[in-house]
Every structure is written in C-alpha cells, then in structure tokens.
C-alpha cells in the first residue's frame, strides 16, 4: 500500500547554527599571503629554522668580528713551551702542537671557511641559475648542449674533480681563496642548473606567463619578470644545502694539503696540522672539526626548514 509522504514536514537547521558556517567562512578583510609571505609565516613556527638561524648568525658574527669572541691572537705568541698544553685561564681549549691558542684559531678560521662556501654558492647560483633558466625556457639546441655539458661534469665527483684541478701547475703554485672557489664552481654549477631548468619548465607554460606574452611582453622579459621569480624556491633550497657542502669540500682539500695555503687560517688546515698529535692531544683536532660539523649541520637544517616551508605538500592546512 502506497503511503502518502507529501504532507511530512522536513526540519532544516538554520545555516548559522551549523558548523558549516564556520567552515565555509572566508575572511574577506585580510589580504591573502603570497608564496614567500606564507613561507615566512611557516618558517617562524619551526623550531628547526629558529635554532639553525641563531647558530648561523653566531657563526657569521664570529667570521665578521672575531675580536668580539676572543682577545688572544691566533698566530702570534705561539710558544713551544705551551705545545699541546691543557686549557688555562684565557685559553679555554688549550694549545696546538705549535703552542698556539686553539680557541683563537677556531674563531679566526671561521672567516676563510665560510668565505669559500658563501662565494662559491653565490657564483654557482648565478652561473648555474642563468644557464638552467635559459635551457629550460628556450629549449631546443641550447637545452641539448647545456644538458650534455652538465652530464660531463656530473660524471666526475666534486672532490675527485677538485683534486685533479688543484694539482694542475697553475693552481698548485697559486693556491688562494679564489682558486679554491673557481675549482668548486666548475663542478658545482650543473646541479643548480638542472634544478633551475626543471623549475622553469614547470612555470614557463603557466597562465600568467601566457597572459603576459599575449599583452605584448617579450619572451626574455617574461623570463626575467615572471618565470625566474616563480622558479626560485627550489634553487634557494639547494643553495642553502650546497653551502655546507662547499665548506666541507674546502676543508677536505685543505686537509689533503691542496686547498688553502697554510698561511690562511681555516678549519681544514687546523685539522690537517693536528692529525700528527691525534693520539696525544685529540682536542686540537676535535674542536675545529666540531666547529666545521656544527656549521654544516646548521646550513643543512636551514635548508630542510626552507624546503618544508616552500613545499605546498608539506604545509599544514
């Protein structure tokens, strides 16, 4: 028997009394954040970013103003009577085999090691970024040539390639900060170029790029004004992490005796000098090695935090 349901009343709760009202509510009085604004908001909430930033600021301050951290001279008043001496007042980390203050050398060695990493990173980002952006945006024969050129350098590891170049007579007889930077640059740009190329490929056909071209913007202007700024996120992440890699590479070359000359204080040179007294006085080696490890760890932590902030899939909604 068919039951008539036409007169049954249906109760519908008012929208303002349901959770949907708050769920669907949109704040129209707040301007939406850009990619970088939202990334900065996320970064400020990450303990990893805060800790790594504070450590990096401390390291930068030590490199720029070493006199604020120690009053001792790193290369003067080195007395053989203090050789491998224990910590005393005014010399908290003891002395090296040559009787120099370990703490002062760790502080003053920050500048050379950090300078190599920063200059190399800037050069790699500029050269690799330009080549990768051109290859990804224009494509064709330019992309093919740069891709094969990058593959040639990818086939040789960074440290092994740097050792080969630094053993050439022109480099072996003129070891300076710039020669080490140039050597690391030769084998460091392909990685940045490949990442930049991939980022440009994902952006070049976006609607805002096509719209700018339709409005009469030249192809090169669209690349500079629209494509590159929106493809910089992965480049910044890899640059932050690569900075620590280049600092380690410089220390490795200096440890092997083919990096910075002994006249330049760096953590790699101090580690190399202290290896002869490792058994009798390990502290002289452990302190510069610890400073090196802490610096590299800080930049890697910063890179991980920036990557999580710029990755849409990693953001908390």
Name the band, by pLDDT with cuts 50, 70 and 90, for residue 180.
very high
Q: Which of 150-154, 247-251, 301-305 shows the lowest mean pLDDT across its residues? A: 150-154
The pTM for the full model equals 0.82
Among the listed residues 85, 110, 159, 96, the one whose alpha carbon sits nearest the alpha carbon of residue 268: 110
User: Going by C-beta distance under 8 Å and a sequence separation of 6 or more, which residues neighbour residue 309?
Assistant: 39, 40, 42, 43, 46, 49, 315
Where in 51-139 does DSSP place strands (E)?
none
Residue-wise pLDDT for 56-68, tens only, equals 999 999 999 988 8
Cα–Cα distance for residue pair 219/213, rounded to 1 Å:
7
Cα–Cα distance for residue pair 39/56, rounded to 1 Å:
19
Residue 195 has pLDDT above 70, yes or no: yes
Among the listed residues 49, 109, 100, the one whose alpha carbon sits nearest the alpha carbon of residue 240: 49
Name the band, by pLDDT with cuts 50, 70 and 90, for residue 88.
confident
CB 251 within 8 A of CB 245: no
**Could you tell me which residues are beta bridge partners of residue 101?**
95
Structure token digits, residue 22:
């708050």
Q: DSSP assignment of 280-297, as one string?
A: T-THHHHHHHHHHHHHHH
Q: Phi first, then psi: what are they for 249, rounded to 5°?
A: -65, -40
With tokens 């008043």, the residue in question is 77
User: Going by C-beta distance under 8 Å and a sequence separation of 6 or more, which residues neighbour residue 44?
Assistant: 50
Rg (CA), the chain: 28
CB atoms within 10 A of CB 147: 15
Residue 306 has pLDDT above 50, yes or no: yes
CB 128 within 8 A of CB 191: yes
CA torsion sign, 143 to 149 to 151 to 153? negative
Cα–Cα distance for residue pair 286/274, rounded to 1 Å:
9
The predicted pLDDT at position 219 comes to: 85
Domain ranges of the chain: 53-85+92-314
Instruction: Output the CA–CA distances (angstroms, integers) from residue 46 to 56, 89, 232, 304, 307, in the order listed.
Output: 16, 39, 21, 11, 12
The predicted pLDDT at position 54 comes to: 94
Residue-wise pLDDT for 122-164, tens only, equals 999 999 999 999 998 888 888 888 888 888 888 888 888 889 8
Instruction: Output the CA–CA distances (angstroms, integers) from residue 206 to 98, 196, 227, in the order listed.
Output: 62, 16, 9
CB atoms within 10 A of CB 317: 3
Compute the average pLDDT of residues 225-246: 88
> Any idea which fold 53-85+92-314 has?
MetI-like fold (1.10.3720)
């Amino acid at each position: 028997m068919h039951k008539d349901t036409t007169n049954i009343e249906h109760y519908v709760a008012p929208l303002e009394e349901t959770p949907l009202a708050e769920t669907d509510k949109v704040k129209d009085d707040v301007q939406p954040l850009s990619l970088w604004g939202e990334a900065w908001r996320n970064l400020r909430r990450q303990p990893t970013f805060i800790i790594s930033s504070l450590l990096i600021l401390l390291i930068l301050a030590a490199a720029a103003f070493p006199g604020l951290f120690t009053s001792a001279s790193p290369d003067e008043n080195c007395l053989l009577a203090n050789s491998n001496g224990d910590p005393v007042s005014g010399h908290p980390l003891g002395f090296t085999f040559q009787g120099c203050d370990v703490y002062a050398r760790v502080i003053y060695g920050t500048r050379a090691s950090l300078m190599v990493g920063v200059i190399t990173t800037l050069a790699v980002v500029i050269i690799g970024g330009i080549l990768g952006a051109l290859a990804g945006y224009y494509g064709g024969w330019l992309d093919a040539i740069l891709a094969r050129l990058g593959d040639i350098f990818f086939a040789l590891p960074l440290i092994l390639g740097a050792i080969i170049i630094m053993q050439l007579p022109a480099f072996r007889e003129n070891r300076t900060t710039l020669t080490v930077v140039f050597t690391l640059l030769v084998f460091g740009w392909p990685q940045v170029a490949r990442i930049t190329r991939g980022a440009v490929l994902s952006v070049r056909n976006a609607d805002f790029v096509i719209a700018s071209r339709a409005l009469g913007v030249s192809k090169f202007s669209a690349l500079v004004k629209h494509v590159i700024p929106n493809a910089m996120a992965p480049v910044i992440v890899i640059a932050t992490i690569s900075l620590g890699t280049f600092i380690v590479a410089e220390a490795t070359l200096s440890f092997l005796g083919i990096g910075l000359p002994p006249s330049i204080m760096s953590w790699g040179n101090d580690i190399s000098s202290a290896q002869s007294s490792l058994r009798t006085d390990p502290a002289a080696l452990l302190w510069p090695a610890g400073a090196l490890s802490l610096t590299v760890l800080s930049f890697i932590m910063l890179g991980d935090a920036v990557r999580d902030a710029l990755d849409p899939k990693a953001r908390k909604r």
